[in-house]
Amino acid sequence: MEFIDLKSQYLASRTLIDGRIQAVLDHGQYILGPEVGELEARLAARTGARHCITVSSGTEALVIALMALGIKAGDEVITTPFSFIAAAEAVMLVGATPVFADVEPATGNLDARLVAERITPRTRAILPVSLYGQPADMDALNALAEPYGIAVIEDAAQSFGATYRGRQSCHLSTIGCTSFFPSKPLGCYGDGGALFTDDDVLAQAMREIRVHGQSHRYVHTRVGVGGRMDTLQCAVVLAKLERFDWEIEQRQRAAADYDALLRRQLPVLAVRNDRSSVHAQYTVLVDERARVRGRLSAAGIPTAVHYPVPIHRQAAYAHLASGDAYPVAEGLARRVLSLPMGPFLDSASAQRVAMALLDACRPGADGGQPLSTPMARPAPAATTPSTPVATS
């Protein structure tokens, strides 16, 4: 069994993918060829956003979004301490300061109530991550940002295709950023990403920043980056889009298979009623994680941990931590365990994984306590007055 089965996906779409790749080899426009514009139009239509700009990765999308907003040294951006490093890293790369707010225990997404306490006169943006495939509470965050006129950037690297109150992830705030890294729900065969916005001025800025701040060839109106997504990768995404809705259904079916066996037995990260998840991950909480993983591995079942160390505990970011202000992130980092997931994980395999997990969590041959306890409550974090965050 594989953690993410990209091979079955390729075999299922092989004719489409090979045909799309061959078309690029035939026309030879490897940079900003016709597939780039075609993909941008398709993704804009799918999300409902006025503009889609493809870029070289999800990380570069975040950097370009911050640059287009003019965020710079001295500015603060409120983000999550419990995610992949890229969001906080992008903030650092433009010279601004990430300010962390703790996450919701039920979803792992940024807790809007705690974001409210972190807003200062220097706050220029809120940067939530739609973790594991489920949109963050975007309307609550938009409502916080609105009176201050600050931007909300959704890191939707894991959630392209998910919905929030009937709207599409990536089209829920000022700017949406996604990634086509191969293992994401919509992946290419290398690096790629995209930016989404309804704002014409930001869209123009992001298009120019993507190509060295060029407005016209060799006319540089601003400082940019080399951040294009190449035509071949756009062609791969175009081919994969044909089956993407089916794949989302299958991911949700696999998640339902897991839910049916696990939800009453173990704490499982929840999907809220007003949104859907594309299940980039299916994540449960276990105690004694190393032991559970070891037992699963012995049963031939691969697992992963997203993410074992919260960002404020990383050496390069530790100076941004404020005391023990992120207890939920810390607790999740200790206990999260992601199970094999993907559109080609059939029900029988999901059931085998679930049964093996329940077995691995039982106090088994090696004795000891049950390996899982109920989920931590958010109460203390929610009512504690905010502690000022060091701004270096």
Query: Cα(50)–Cα(52) distance, rounded to whole angstroms?
Result: 7
The 10 Å Cβ neighbour count of residue 380 is 10
Stretch of 41-49, 78-86, 209-217, 287-295 lying at the interface with ligand PLP (CB under 6 A): 78-86
Pick from 4, 67, 71, 86 the residue near ligand PLP by CB under 6 A. 86
String marking each residue 33-62 x if it binds ligand PLP according to CB under 6 A: ------------------------xxx---
Q: How far is the CB of 279 from ligand PLP (least distance, A)?
A: 13
Shortest Cβ 84–ligand PLP spacing (Å): 4
* Shortest distance, position 237 Cβ to ligand PLP, whole Å: 12
325 binds ligand PLP (CB under 6 A): no
Which residue, 112 or 136, is less far from ligand PLP as judged by CB?
Answer: 136
Q: Which of 24, 71, 84, 163 binds ligand PLP (CB under 6 A)?
A: 84
* For ligand PLP, the closer CB: 59 or 231: 59
Stretch that binds ligand PLP, among 68-76, 155-163, 236-244, 331-339 (CB under 6 A): 155-163
End-to-end CA distance of the chain: 46
Shortest Å distance, C-beta 216 to ligand PLP: 28
Where in 112-141 is the site for ligand PLP (CB under 6 A)?
A: 129
Shortest Cβ 106–ligand PLP spacing (Å): 18
For ligand PLP, the binding residue among 150, 157, 194, 238 (CB under 6 A) is 157
What six digits make up the tokens of 20?
Answer: 């799309």
Pair 230, 265: CB distance under 8 Å? no
Pick the stretch among 82-90, 222-230, 283-291, 336-344 that binds ligand PLP (CB under 6 A).
82-90
Query: In the bound complex, which residue of the shown chain has the CB atom lying closest to ligand PLP?
Result: 58
How many residues at the interface with ligand PLP, by CB under 6 A?
A: 15
Residues 180-199 interacting with ligand PLP (rule: CB under 6 A): 181, 191, 193
If the CB atoms of residues 47 and 372 are measured against ligand PLP, the closer one turns out to be 47
- Stretch of residues binding ligand PLP (CB under 6 A), selected from 81-89, 146-154, 314-322, 369-377: 81-89
Q: Which of 107, 179, 231, 281 binds ligand PLP (CB under 6 A)?
A: 179
Q: Select 53 or 371, whichever has its Cβ closest to ligand PLP.
A: 53
Interface with ligand PLP (CB under 6 A): 57-59, 83-84, 86-87, 129, 155, 157-158, 179, 181, 191, 193
